[in-house]
Structure 1
Amino acid sequence: MSREIVLDTETTGFDPKTGDRMIEVGCIEIEDLLPTGRTFHRLIHPERLIPADAIRVHGITDDKVRDAPKFAEIVIDLCDFIGDAPIIAHNAQFDRNFIDHEFGRCGRALFHEDRWIDTLKLAQARFPGMANSLDALCKRYKISLVERSLHGALIDARLLAEVYLELKGGKERRLDLSSSRPISAAAAAHAASGYPLRPRPLEPRGGEAEQAAHEAFLRAILKDWSLWKGYGVEIEAG
């Protein structure tokens, strides 16, 4: 199975070289482009005060991280969770800069650059010239943002996992992995539409006369009856 880790961070600012630090990290494990349910999430004490501008973005205050562990105290758990999997991030250079900085402070070897997959670059290649922020992609793919009033590492990682699924094949990929049982052409077309299948079909509302008229209409205009078999219409050519 192909294992990947979707990662997001929240920080005190934009540049670790000027003293900014990581204050939250969230990871989602996916295998074969499907979430496994395993996550990693930690608040981190940044060993400095959090600026008001940053708090307005993610809502993480000094009080919230007062008793949180320092990065050096969670780095082993983080590395164990990530393992040797590729790391998926949106505008990955930002998150990578902070991960590299914190690893450097701990004296740990950095994740190789080839392990990082940038969904911003994937989106820019697919939608050149368009807005490709995480919010914009969620709206484009109709991924609900109702749970997020502020940025949060684990929430954003969950959203990014859904965006990444869409960028890598979307509904077709979900359809391929949803069941090992063969499905009818009608079910496949319905699933690809994005609407859920009914738990049970609606009862026919037309009478025998209407059904007979409908079958006569189909006989007159269609030559390939097999097209309609997947939709529950059984017609024998006359």
Structure 2
Amino acid sequence: MGLFDRLLRRTGAAQTPEALAPALLAHQAAQAGRDARALLDACAFVAVDTELTGFDPRRHALVSIGAVRLSGLSILPGASFSSLVRPPGAVPRDASLVHGLTASGLGDAPEEAAVLAAFLDFVGDAILVGHHIDLDMGFLNAASRRSLGGPLVAPCIDTLRLAMAFEEKRLVAGGRAGEAESLDYSLPALCRRYGLPEFAAHDARADALAAAYLFVFLARKCGRGRPLTLDGLWRAGRTWWR
């Protein structure tokens, strides 16, 4: 596995075209031909966040998807996506207490197939970015398999891993390596630590915007003022993946 692929995990798998919905076929076509040597400033990114009925993609479901588009390392004002999703079953009370969404309130929301198709159209050729993105992709892929015939193929960058790599390097350089594991790596805590804008928690679009700001901050730190490629982004954070 190459350096680029180790940072940009491809979550998709080969599928027969006949089994895929048109929205997923269009998504695959838009994502084809990625160049690991491309400069970050020449790439499109979409920061994404989801709200859920629980944490197990086999038993729980999406209730909201929020996303924000970036051109290179610039967040595009007004270029955002937000939609509620009607879940196939109940919304547990403990989940509702977190994000405020209930089954009755989601009764008129669009079904996941329609939301996913619209989300993939918004993503286009972009690389996905998220904080602890494995969780979001687990649910997005499970829903896409159910509704569209297969998983997403967009590569993903995890701001949680980038933050851990950045903090490890910073603390090692300062002779305080042991402090890295005790830091709070939650999205709100990192935004406060780095002086980034803070938004309402547990709102998918707001959390996606926070993740976008965090990604821009960390990518610029990795570049140290120099142009950075996708492959270079992995190299800059290589201590985390050693």
Normalising by structure 2, we get a TM-score of 0.66
Q: Which amino acid aligns with 1:135?
A: P
Partner in structure 2 of residue 33 of structure 1: 73
Change in Cα spacing, 1:173 to 1:71, as seen in structure 2 (3 Å) is farther
Where 1:168 maps in the other structure, the secondary structure is helix
Q: Does structure 1 residue 143 correspond to structure 2 residue 184?
A: no
CA distance in 2, matches of 1:132, 1:156: 14
Change in Cα spacing, 1:107 to 1:32, as seen in structure 2 (3 Å) is closer
Structure 1: tracts of 5 or more residues without a match: 177-238
Aligned 1:1-238 pairs, distance under 5 A = 1-17=42-58, 19-37=59-77, 38-112=79-153, 115-127=155-167, 128-129=180-181, 130-145=183-198, 147-148=199-200, 150-169=201-220
Q: Tell whether the 8 Å contact from 2:51 to 2:63 is kept in structure 1 after alignment.
A: yes
Q: Tell whether the 8 Å contact from 2:197 to 2:213 is kept in structure 1 after alignment.
A: no
Q: Which amino acid aligns with 1:134?
A: L
> How far off is 1:32 after superposition?
1.4
CA distance in 2, matches of 1:39, 1:5: 9
Worse-matched range after superposition: 41-50 or 123-132: 123-132
State the identity %.
Answer: 32
The higher radius of gyration belongs to 1
Where 2:146 maps in the other structure, the secondary structure is helix
CA distance in 1, matches of 2:144, 2:224: 35
Residues 29-87 of structure 1: CA deviation (Å, up to 9, x unaligned): 00011111211110000021111111121111223211001101222211111112110
CA distance in 2, matches of 1:74, 1:132: 30
For the aligned residue pairs, the C-alpha RMSD in angstroms reads 2.0
Count of equivalent residues: 170
Where 2:213 maps in the other structure, the secondary structure is helix
> How far off is 1:173 after superposition?
8.7
Partner in structure 2 of residue 224 of structure 1: none
CA distance in 1, matches of 2:119, 2:92: 25
> How far off is 1:112 after superposition?
3.0
Q: Which amino acid aligns with 2:70?
A: I
RCO comparison, higher one (Cα < 8 Å, 6+): 2
Where 1:169 maps in the other structure, the secondary structure is helix
Which runs of structure 1 show a deviation greater than 2 angstroms over 4 or more consecutive aligned residues? none
CA distance in 1, matches of 2:148, 2:135: 20
